[in-house]
Amino acid sequence: MDLTTIDYRTGDGVAHVRFNRPEGANAVTPTFAAELRSVMLEIEHDPAVKAVSVTAEGKVFCAGGDLKVFSAAGHGMPRLASDMLVDFHGAIYKMNRTPKPFVAGVGGAAGGAGLSIVSAFDLVVCGESAKFTMAYTRAGFTPDGTSSYFLARHIGLRRMLDLTLTNRVLSADEAEAWGLVNRVVPDDQVDSATAELAQQLADGPAWATGHAKQVIYAGYESPLEQAGEFEGVVITAAMATHDGREGVSAFLEKRSPKFEGR
């Protein structure tokens, strides 16, 4: 892939995605959105990738939409944004639907669409000085980036309304307490902690981990009986995998399992 705003590499079962436009605060532009969707498609179709680490270069994880680009579009701003959201939202849909865990490592700030995409990751690590803010209404806009779906579910409707309507800024500790992030680490350990967590997931029973993600998301949205039926379909499929059989054997033999991700 020929990328200009994102670095992408793979190794040992992990896809490493790094936003790399620090001079523009890694803000969302049409180019960034298109490249992010391309990366997500690559991850979806690469069987060697078992887990994904997403970090960012510079002091800002993602500042949201690039208002300079929007302003330059003049009266064409709505069309530009509409086209961009096809790719940006499409990338997030792929990230959610692909049966592989996505781990974000947030250093510095995440605002607007940056906070929205953070809320869409499966697991989130952040640095001690990280800050989170919606910022949409400050610019006279309304939320996008699927935050109305993911963020409200993570932190609750009251807190979602508070963040959106008042543009309050959450510290790393507040974000952890509210359920937006999973763990807070020293600022200089964000990248390594994110990579290590993604590697841990890739080295485990990757089929089960990825499909467990799907079971959880589906169950959250389903009636009781439908959730139970889908659980039954997936767990019985897991029992037919190498790792499912290996996990049972290892437990009974009182040894550590040797998972192969299949």
Q: What is the DSSP string of 141-209?
A: ----TTHHHHHHHHH-HHHHHHHHHH---EEHHHHHHHTS-SEEE-GGGHHHHHHHHHHHHHHS-HHHH
Residue 1 has a pLDDT of: 79
The string over 111-132, giving b where at least 16 C-beta atoms fall within 10 Å of a residue's C-beta and e elsewhere, is bbbbbbbbbbbbbbbbbeebbb
The span from the CA of 117 to the CA of 146, in Å, is 7
Q: How far is CA 195 from the centre of its chain?
A: 14
Looking at residue 148, its pLDDT comes to 96
Whether this prediction's pTM lies above 0.75 is answered by yes
Q: State the pLDDT at residue 117.
A: 97
Identify whether 45 is a catalytic site residue. no
From 66, 144, 191, 243, the catalytic residue: 144
Under 8 Å between Cβ of 106 and 125 = yes
144 is catalytic: yes
How many secondary structure helices (H) and strands (E) does the chain include? 11, 10
Rounded to 5°, angle at Cα 31 from 25 and 37: 105
**Alpha-carbon gap, residue 228 to 38, rounded angstroms:** 34
Q: Which residues does 141 contact at the CB level (< 8 Å), separation at least 6?
A: 65
Q: How far is CA 147 from CA 11, 89, 93, 106, 153, in A?
A: 31, 10, 12, 17, 9
Say which of 89, 162, 187, 242 is annotated catalytic.
Answer: 89
Mode of pairing for the β-strands spanning 123-127 and 170-171: unpaired
Low-confidence ranges of the chain (pLDDT < 50): none
The domain made up of 6-203 is a member of CATH 3.90.226.10? yes
Digit-coded pLDDT (tens) for 54-71: 999 999 999 999 999 999
